[in-house]
Amino acid sequence: MTSTNQKRTLGEFIFDNQSSFPYSTGELSKLINAIRLAAKITNHEVNKAGLVDILGDAGNTNVQGEDQQKLDVYANEKFIQTLIQRGIVCGIASEEEEDFIAVNSIDGNNNNKYVVLIDPLDGSSNIDVNASVGTIFSIYRRISPLGSPVELRDFLQPGKNQVAAGYIMYGTSTMLVFTTGNGVNGFTLNPALGTFYHSHPNMKFPETGRIYSVNEGNYVHFSKGIKAYIKYCQKEEGDRPYTSRYIGAMVADFHRNLIKGGIYMYPRIGPKQNGKLRLTYECNPIAFLTEQAKGKATTGTKRILDIEPTELHQREAIFCGSVKMVEKLEEFILNGD
């Protein structure tokens, strides 16, 4: 493997590729750098979670009705603080906040161009058992007029309008994976130097794979088509049975399938007929990454990135990963539901 001193840093990569960023003015580059900084701060706290009083419940519930972990609160605060202090966004929406946050530009003229939607700590219940967690982010160019306060419609854009999206995975190593619409690239943090290095250039899903990732504990609530596809994955025939792998953090499951080939599934279940994962914070950024990595992302019947959001915390089903595996799933849904 190439040594770190021969790899480009994230900063060098951003500088070298700035001309390929949409609306290349330097602001998007600064925004990604701000996310990098917040990721390093959060990573430091995650890595000492067993040594300080930051494990377990915070004693609150978020707007989703979910118990907040202490690290949920910490990561949310750090990402919001870092983005606001850099003075480069006009608004932030977080899974942990009921409403979006309007951010004034440093000169007070409301001329910042970008909004960020973020899931500060995906899979945070894994912290207590020392399993992987992550951060998911999505960036849009505002559609409200410059000079005016940010509006809800700036956040309720279809995923196809994203100018950048990515995730940070805090695992055996810490990785930042993102796209600006020109492929997907991964960067690994060297903790000794505090620097992200370009470790995974031009990441792509294998056309097919042998891993399926789904919470089979919800099997009885799945539709007929989903059940039939899972049975197909388990059947001993040809290159099957496939391997079942499910970590419980979308970032970690997605990342493994991106590297090895596979499909991630979170169907509608029982009373949660609109799905469980948030369209704006989770499904859209992961779908954008999926397509940029030559994979496919769907609700089972339509492309995720074409959905017009109607609510900030809207939920949706998602199936994403290697093209042939997702297309086979769609066949079962079409024929079985």
* Binding-site residues for Mg(2+): 95, 119, 121-122, 282
Tokens of 167: 């995730």
Phi, psi for 183 (deg, rounded to 5): 90, 175
Which 8-state DSSP code applies to residue 266?
E
Classify residue 279 by its DSSP letter: I
Please report, in range form, the residues annotated as the binding site: 95, 119, 121-125, 215, 246, 276, 282
d(CA 192, CA 198): 16
Annotated binding site for substrate: 122-125, 215, 246, 276
The CA distance from 167 to 298, in Å, is 19
What phi-psi label fits residue 295: left (phi over 0), alpha (psi between -120 and 50 degrees) or beta? Answer: beta
Give, rounded to a whole angstrom, the gap between the first and last alpha carbons of the chain. 48
**Cα distance between residue 273 and residue 306, in whole Å:** 19
